[in-house]
């Protein structure tokens, strides 16, 4: 078969292939079992293989690149307009093949196994932090039913209240509650220990990666943000400009402009929510501590705070930091504050 481009619809066990030749004629439509995938593409001459950027896409992209094929990943929302008729695997593979032929199509870079491992650490930590927050809320709610209220907000106050109640002799609660609270205390300590272990892994990888070390020089970016950016982006040269990187994070204004009249709203909030959250929280800490500083960035923030609320200023700084990160990663330079 003289195949020049293949659209591949991924699944767990059954894959759909749609291949066209150099004249855009369909020359291959077939289903493949998982065990047949590599054998099929091993027999093909090197060609362009397009897939949706979904689960297992980066794994298959690395495998097919190892066989000499050129692989391009497309975001699912860019494939949807090319689906003809009802949705099924054959139509999806055809739409992927058609979308890959568009000269203006944007593609997702293939991640290395190391990048995906780094992202896995962050995802597990994020899940554990959510579970710990939910557990703290449950503890506060249970104790509040018995009139025991923490004096302030936050996890530390919840732990302090829990320690006080469980250490009291006798426990000032009905018999079952003492045992329940002891179990919740052990569960909370286990979550704290797991999160601490993952943070040690992140900090160790930060010490070993020169790219992360360059990012740590930027005020408002710590090991969590720097390692998450490097794991998600890798080579920032995939973005042509710093604004494109900030737009990918969802930190630029949403536009609804027409007739030469420009209308800008709040930020788009597109892209990776976790990365955007890290950038924003890091910026909040900088904004909170800028009042008594005299450097150029702090003076800029002080001027913004006189005109805007603190949340808008934090997002503005997050946008600026995102552009600085793009420059540091794409040009491989060190941070030089003004």
Give the Å distances, CA to CA, from 85 to 26, 53, 80, 90, 95. 17, 22, 11, 11, 11
pLDDT of residue 1: 65
Burial 222-246 (b: 16+ CB within 10 A, else e): bbbbbbbbbbbbbebeebeebeebb
pLDDT of residue 173: 85
In the chain, domain spans: 5-108, 113-208, 211-256+266-331
CATH number for the segment(s) 5-108: 3.30.420.10
**Which regions of the chain are under pLDDT 70?**
1
**Residue in 51, 42, 47, 40 with CA at minimum distance from that of residue 11:** 51
pLDDT of residue 260: 84
């Amino acid at each position: 078969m003289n195949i020049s481009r293949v659209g591949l619809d991924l699944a767990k066990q059954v894959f759909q292939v749609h291949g066209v030749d150099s004249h855009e004629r369909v020359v291959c439509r077939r289903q493949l079992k998982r065990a047949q995938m590599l054998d099929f593409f091993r027999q093909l001459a090197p060609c362009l293989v397009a897939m949706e950027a979904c689960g297992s896409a980066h794994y298959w992209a690395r495998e097919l690149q190892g066989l000499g094929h050129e692989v391009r990943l497309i975001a699912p929302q860019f494939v949807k307009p090319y689906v003809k008729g009802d949705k099924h695997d054959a139509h999806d593979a055809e739409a992927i093949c058609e979308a890959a032929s568009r000269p203006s199509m944007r593609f997702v870079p293939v991640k290395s196994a190391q990048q995906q491992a780094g992202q896995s650490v962050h995802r597990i930590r994020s899940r554990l932090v959510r579970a710990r927050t939910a557990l703290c809320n449950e503890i506060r709610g249970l104790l509040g039913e018995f009139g025991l209220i923490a004096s302030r907000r936050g996890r530390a106050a919840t732990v302090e209240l829990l320690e006080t109640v469980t250490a009291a002799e006798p426990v000032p609660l009905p018999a079952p509650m003492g045992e329940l609270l002891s179990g919740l205390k052990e569960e909370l300590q286990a979550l704290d220990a797991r999160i601490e272990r993952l943070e040690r892994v992140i900090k160790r990888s930060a010490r070993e990666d020169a790219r992360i070390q360059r990012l740590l020089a930027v005020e408002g970016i710590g090991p969590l943000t720097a390692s998450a950016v490097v794991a998600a982006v890798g080579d920032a040269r995939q973005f042509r400009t710093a604004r494109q990187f900030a737009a990918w994070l969802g930190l630029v204004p949403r536009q609804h402009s027409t007739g030469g009249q420009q209308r800008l709203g709040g930020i788009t909030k597109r892209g990776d929510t976790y990365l955007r959250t890290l950038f924003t929280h890091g910026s909040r800490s900088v904004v909170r501590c800028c009042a008594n500083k005299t450097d150029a960035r702090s003076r800029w923030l002080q001027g913004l705070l006189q005109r805007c609320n603190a949340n808008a200023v934090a997002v503005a700084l997050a946008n600026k930091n995102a552009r600085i990160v793009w420059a540091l990663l794409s040009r491989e330079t060190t941070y030089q504050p003004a």
